[in-house]
Amino acid sequence: MAEQWIVGVDLGGTTTKLAFINMNGEILHKWEIPTDNSNEGQNITTNISNTIDQKLVELKEQKSKLIGIGMGAPGPINYETGVVLNVVNLGWKDNFPLQESLHSLTELPVVIENDANCAALGEMWNGAGKGARDLVCVTLGTGVGGGVIANGNIVRGINGAAGEIGHITSIPFGGAPCNCGKSGCLETIASATGIVRLAENELPKAEAKGQLAVIFAENGKVTAKDVFDSARNGDELAKKLLDEVAFHLGFVLANIANTVNPEMIVLGGGVSRAGDILLDSVKVNFSMFAFSAARDSTNLALATLGNDAGVIGAAWLIKNKLNL
């Protein structure tokens, strides 16, 4: 039988990433379209269906080549009904029947999943966690997302709120306010936004000097990347900020390891591009707080799939559902 493809879709607030993926979790073709949030998000599934058809025509392939669509979406999902609950930045004000809508347009099996969970599944299938059945993935981006996989399955919890690693409280008192309504969440420190906030608290102080302070003086702002680049160049303030981020990450990840003792904890997202300078420091703090049996058996690693993790993990949903 000719090779069949799975469609992986990663729905973001501004861009929708798509890919045709084979049964080994390898991307054969990938592309992206803008996410059209107008008309209360009613165009989103139509546009996805249309761009898949157009890509097939372009590649001179039949629709029968495709066996299903796996899709990652932001926000809470009712997994029994395939309904996405209240994702305002996509225009979906009320509960949107994402699975049913995409299925009726494409006549293909559709499985949907939270996007952070898709990234974890992608890294498990064909990334840093390849072969691991117990894995935790933390996505350090604009916010902090998490996915917990136990024995090959996503841990969802009674209300779908499992794996919300970004909202683990890391500063119990006096922490910065988080988008979720709490204060002191990991996300307020270890996200790109959090790192910039930490930096911009320190930089206006008179004693601030060094590379990061020069960038701030020139631009009136800094990015998370500026902080890591400066730390790599030995900038003292940047190193201090990095230590603070790594302390909270190490602390939270150690407690996760103490709870689920995964084979691997994978750090992904834009902030993880800081690379070894971040990973090494997180490992030191992790070792300090992890219970010895967890410390000795849970490995920390950087994600390897980058922005492709979401579409690959989404495709895995179909492979898993259809038992392929």
For Zn ion, the closer CB: 102 or 190: 190
Of 99 and 191, which CB lies nearer to Zn ion in the complex structure?
191
Compute φ and ψ for 7, nearest 5 degrees: -95, 125
Kindly tell me which of 168 and 305 has the beta carbon lying closer to Zn ion: 168
Question: In this chain, which of 8, 12, 126, 167 binds Zn ion, going by CB under 5 A?
Answer: 167
Cα(320)–Cα(314) distance, rounded to whole angstroms? 10
Q: Which is nearer to Zn ion, 178 or 190 (CB)?
A: 178
Nearer to Zn ion, 16 or 170 (CB): 170
HSE-CB at 321 with a 13 A cutoff on CA atoms is 19
Compute the least distance from the CB of residue 236 to Zn ion, in Å.
30
Stretches 9-17, 165-173, 293-301, 306-314: which one binds Zn ion (CB under 5 A)? 165-173
Measured from the CB atom, is 180 or 324 closer to Zn ion? 180
183/299 with CB nearer Zn ion: 183
Burial string for 307-316 (b: 16+ CB within 10 Å, else e) reads bbbbbbbbbb
Does 132 bind Zn ion (CB under 5 A)? Our answer is no
Q: According to CB under 5 A, which one of 178, 196, 257, 271 is a site residue for Zn ion?
A: 178
- DSSP string over 210-256: SHHHHHHHHHS---HHHHHHHHHTT-HHHHHHHHHHHHHHHHHHHHH
CA 142 remoteness from chain centre = 10
- Give min distance, CB of 102 to Zn ion, in A: 30
**How far apart are the C-alpha atoms of 105 and 62, rounded to whole Å?**
16
Distance CA 92, CA 43 (A): 11
For 165, left (φ over 0), alpha (ψ -120 to 50), or beta?
alpha
Q: Could you tell me which stretch among 65-73, 125-133, 171-179, 302-310 binds Zn ion (CB under 5 A)?
A: 171-179
Question: Smallest distance from the beta carbon of 279 to Zn ion, in angstroms?
Answer: 24
Q: Which stretch binds Zn ion (CB under 5 A): 150-158, 166-174, 223-231, 315-323?
A: 166-174
- Rg of the Cα atoms in the chain: 21
Query: What is the residue-wise DSSP string for 78-94?
Result: ETTTTEE--BGGGTB-S
Q: How far is the CB of 167 from Zn ion (least distance, A)?
A: 4
Part of the chain binding Zn ion (CB under 5 A), chosen from 97-105, 174-182, 196-204, 296-304: 174-182
Give the total of residues touching Zn ion (CB under 5 A).
5
Interface with Zn ion, residue 180, by CB under 5 A = yes
Q: How far is the CB of 177 from Zn ion (least distance, A)?
A: 9
Q: What's the min distance (Å) between Cβ of 289 and Zn ion? A: 20
Instruction: For Zn ion, give the closer residue by CB, 130 or 182.
Output: 182
Binding to Zn ion (CB under 5 A) within 184-243 occurs at: 185
SS3 content of the chain, % helix, strand, coil (to 5): 45, 20, 35
Q: Which amino acid is at 308?
A: D
Binding to Zn ion by CB under 5 A, coded x per residue (else -) over 25-64, reads: ----------------------------------------
Contacts of 30 (CB under 8 A, 6+ apart): 17, 18, 19, 20, 308, 311
Cα Dmax for the chain: 70
Q: Which is nearer to Zn ion, 155 or 176 (CB)?
A: 176
Q: How far apart are the first and last CA of the chain?
A: 14
User: By the criterion CB under 5 A, which residues form the site for Zn ion?
Assistant: 167, 178, 180, 182, 185
